[in-house]
Structure formats: structure tokens, C-alpha cells
Structure 1
Amino acid sequence: MSDRTPQPPAPYGTPEAPRVAVRGEATLEVDPETATLTVTANARGKDRRAALDDLTRRNAAILELAGGYGAAVEKLESGALSISPELTPHGRGERIRAYAGQVRITVVMNDFTALGELTTRLAALDLTRVEGPWWALRPGSPAHRDARHQAVQDAVTRAREYAQALGAGLSALVELSDPGADGARPPAPGFAGGPGFRSAAPGAADDVPAIDLQPQRQTVYATVNARFTMTPPVL
């Protein structure tokens, strides 16, 4: 028996089995799957309890209104709540002139036909600020898988074209890796925003026409690194 340990293949191939390294890329434009609204209710009063009661009432109104859209609202989450004293800007000592409160609610919708109506109805509420919509894809969206598949196909096509330019052909796949697996950070997904709406006084929400909000198409980008061996080139 031989004591010789098998040697790993040469990192850059051999004259008999040259290697070709390529990067496959794919860019898709697809319709968004969700739209997110950030709704902030405010309250202000000379008495802490009164300010807190107003804030509680406005928070409940937002939750009831958004919750009335049923399955069209995918997520309804309460965020940070704060209530703090406001001091007089001048004078000796610390004198409280009012209390200000704020609560933030996130509304994620998957039915864009109801989005415009809900946005205007929320904006018509007393002392309520609406920001958004922010369009997005879900993390597990099929669009991400489709982009990765196309990136792999692009890598194979590029490698085959390089081999054909040398009168050779691809013989085997040596390595296929995601750029993130090599320590590089993949590009951050785009973040598309929208207008903000604010109501400073009570309004008749049912009389407010629904604003026409057109979904913003999302860009999905995928890359993959691939290495192949090819047949000996004709030089």
C-alpha cells in the first residue's frame, strides 16, 4: 500500500482541467406583498391623568378602526408609549405647564384595495399622524427564490460562454457559493417610503375620500459565485 496522501486539486485547475470562476447575477422587479403604515397618536393636557386618558382613547380608536378591516390587516402591533411633563421655558424652579403623551402603532396590510381608505380614515382621527406606506416583500417571498435560480442560471451561461470562446466546454461544477458565505455582506434591500399625513383636529372620517396609492414595484437582486472545470481549450 502506498503511504502517499492524496493531494487536493490545484486551486486554479490544471492544463488538463482548467477552472473558470464566474459570478452569476439576477435582478427582478416584482409587485410588493405588504404595505406598512406607522400611526402615531398624540395627547396633551395640563393634567397627567387627562392626557393619559386621551391617549388611551385615541389608541383604542386606531386599533378598532384598523382591526375592522379583518384579513386585509396582516399585522397590528403597538410600539413605544410615552407620557412626559413639559416644563415652563423660563422662571425659577421646575414648573410643569403640561403633559404630553404619544403612542405608536404599526399597521401592515396585504390588501392594497383597502389601503387608501384606511390611510385617510386614520389621518382624519384627532391628533393622529400617519406615515407611509412602506412597500415590501415578505422575507420568504418566492421572488427571492426566483432571483437566486436566475443567478445560478446566469453563472452557468457565463461560464459556458467563456469555455466556448476557448473552444472548450464545461465538464464539472467545482463550487457554488452565496457571496454572504464568503464573508461579504449582500446588498441591502431597497426601502421605499411614502407620504405622511397628519390631522390636527377631529374630522368626519367617513366623509374623507380614499387616497389613491399606487404600489411601488420592488427590486430583488441576487448574486452567486461559481467555479467550474472545463475541457482542455483549443489554443
Structure 2
Amino acid sequence: MPLVITVRGEHESWHPAERGIVHLSVAIDGPDRSEVFDAAMQSSGRVHALLTQLASNDGAVTRWSSDTVRVTSQRPWNSAGEQLPLVYSATIGYIARFRDFEALAMFIEYVSAVDHTTVALVEWELTDEATREARAEARHLAVIDAYTKAREYAESVGLSEVTTTAIADPGMLADVGSGSEHSGGATQASARMMVAPAAGGPLALNPENISVAASVEARFHAS
């Protein structure tokens, strides 16, 4: 009767970021609704014009989107418990995906100087094609890792023939513990913005590498 060996195989690889996704917003508060709206639209127009230019003719921006302007109002309270006059707030959000990191750094410098504009976050990604390739490789190497483990277990008890009987995504083989949380090839990290200030020079972005990991469960017979 063959010995049943059930193991988990894993692999993780790291890849240079290929896309930078910047999140920014235009936000302004004030007592006059029209003035708040006009100021928000003026700043937003500068951001909109630059993104349109960068996205044209296969430029530095692969795609971008923006919210419509939202205007809200509230009456705040002061420390004495007194309700203050009405305050209006206008906000417009933007998301832009860059292929050119030097252009991204220049864009951040430019919009940071636009009134009422704040860069909230930069995330890093692989292209869709690179992600698919990295996931396929990670799954392949996770299976090899599982088979290698099974052979080592078999050899440790004097067995030499190992036959694969089942390969599954994590959680599909009931007698394998929860173990790693890696899915069958999901991208595990999207790095946040890393900014290196350059003394007297332009802004420098330092994107972290992107982790792509895979985990499989496998069952073998050894004899």
C-alpha cells in the first residue's frame, strides 16, 4: 500500500513596478458657495488640462479619471459650544495611472503647487500582462516546491517512487492546514509611495518591488 503524502507548495517572486497610480484631490472650504465652487473649478481645471496633455498620443499617462465636483455645507461648532456660520466645502478627486515614473514625479511636483490640491497616495503595480506571466510562473514553481517536498519526505522514510495524485488551490484538500494565506497567484503587495527628497533637485520616487506569490496543495503516493 503506497504512503500518502499531502503537502503545500509555495513560491514568491519580486518584480520592479511598471505603473504608478497617483491619487489626488482638490478641496477647498469657505463661507461663500460660489467662491468655493469657482476656486475648486479653477484648480481642477489646471489638473485636468495637464492630465489630458499627458494622456494624449500614448503619453506618460495610460488612463485617468476624475469625480464630479461635490459641494457640501455644514455649520461647525467652536470650543465654547457656539454654532458658527455656514461653511461650504468643494472636493474633486483624481486617479491617474503613469507608465513614466519621471513624468509622475514631475506631475506630483506641479500639482502640489496648485492651490487647494493634495496628493494623497501613490501605489505601484505591474502591467496586466506582466501580472499574468508572474502569476503563471509562481503557480508553476509552487507545484515544483510541493513535489520537491514530497520527494524529500519519501526519501526520508526510504521510498523513492513519488506519483502525483492531486493538485488543488489552497483549502481544496481538506487534510491540509490553513498555512499560508497566499492564493493561487495573487499579487500580494501594492507598494505605497516612497519619496526621496533630492537636495535642490527634482522630486525622486523610489517604488518598491511588487510581490507575486502562489500557494498550492498537492497529494502524492510514495512507494
State the TM-score, normalizing by the size of structure 2: 0.78
Summarize deviations over 1:2-56 as a string: whole Å, max 9, x none.
xxxxxxxxxxxxx2x2211111111111111221111110223332122112222
- Structure 2 residue 137 is matched with structure 1 residue 152: no
Provide the aligned length of Structure 1 versus Structure 2. 205
- Structure 2 residue 174 is matched with structure 1 residue 189: no
Give 1:223 deviation, angstroms: 0.9
Give distance in 1, aligned partners of 2:81 and 2:11: 65
Give distance in 2, aligned partners of 1:186 and 1:81: 40
User: Which residue identity is paired with 2:11?
Assistant: A
1:31 is aligned to 16
Alignment match of 1:85 (pick from 73, 86, 99)? 73
User: Which residue identity is paired with 1:49?
Assistant: S
Contact 1:42-1:103 within 8 A present in 2 as well: yes
Give distance in 2, aligned partners of 1:92 and 1:33: 52
Give distance in 2, aligned partners of 1:49 and 1:180: 57
1:52 is aligned to 37
Summarize deviations over 1:85-112 as a string: whole Å, max 9, x none.
2425369997634322111111121222
Judging changes above 3 Å, is the alpha-carbon distance between structure 1 residues 215 and 195 closer, same or farther for their aligned structure 2 residues?
A: closer
2:209 is aligned to 217
Give distance in 1, aligned partners of 2:120 and 2:76: 30
Judging changes above 3 Å, is the alpha-carbon distance between structure 1 residues 18 and 191 closer, same or farther for their aligned structure 2 residues?
A: same
User: Which residue identity is paired with 2:54?
Assistant: Y
Q: After alignment, is 78-87 or 217-226 more displaced? A: 78-87
User: Which residue identity is paired with 1:72?
Assistant: A
Give 1:172 deviation, angstroms: 2.6
- Structure 2 residue 81 is matched with structure 1 residue 98: no
Contact 2:135-2:212 within 8 A present in 1 as well: yes
Q: After alignment, is 172-181 or 151-160 more displaced? A: 172-181
Summarize deviations over 1:201-233 as a string: whole Å, max 9, x none.
xxxxxxx953111221122221110001122xx
**Partner-residue secondary structure (3-state), 2:101:** coil
Give distance in 2, aligned partners of 1:78 and 1:211: 24
User: Which residue identity is paired with 1:54?
Assistant: A
**Partner-residue secondary structure (3-state), 1:101:** strand
Give 1:117 deviation, angstroms: 0.8
User: Which residue identity is paired with 2:206?
Assistant: Q
User: Which residue identity is paired with 1:74?
Assistant: T
Give distance in 2, aligned partners of 1:60 and 1:178: 48
Contact 1:45-1:51 within 8 A present in 2 as well: yes
Contact 1:37-1:108 within 8 A present in 2 as well: yes
User: Which residue identity is paired with 1:220?
Assistant: V
State the TM-score, normalizing by the size of structure 1: 0.75
Contact 1:144-1:220 within 8 A present in 2 as well: yes
Contact 2:194-2:208 within 8 A present in 1 as well: no
2:157 is aligned to 166
Give distance in 2, aligned partners of 1:182 and 1:125: 55
Summarize deviations over 1:104-128 as a string: whole Å, max 9, x none.
1111212223121111111111111
- Which sections of structure 1, spanning at least 5 residues, go unmatched? 1-14, 197-207
**Partner-residue secondary structure (3-state), 1:59:** helix
Give 1:76 deviation, angstroms: 0.8
The within-5 A match list for 1:1-150 is 15=1, 17-70=2-55, 71-79=59-67, 81-87=69-75, 89=77, 96-138=85-127, 141=131, 142-150=133-141
Give distance in 1, aligned partners of 2:65 and 2:149: 46
Give distance in 2, aligned partners of 1:124 and 1:34: 23
Which is higher, the Rg of structure 1 or of structure 2?
Answer: 1
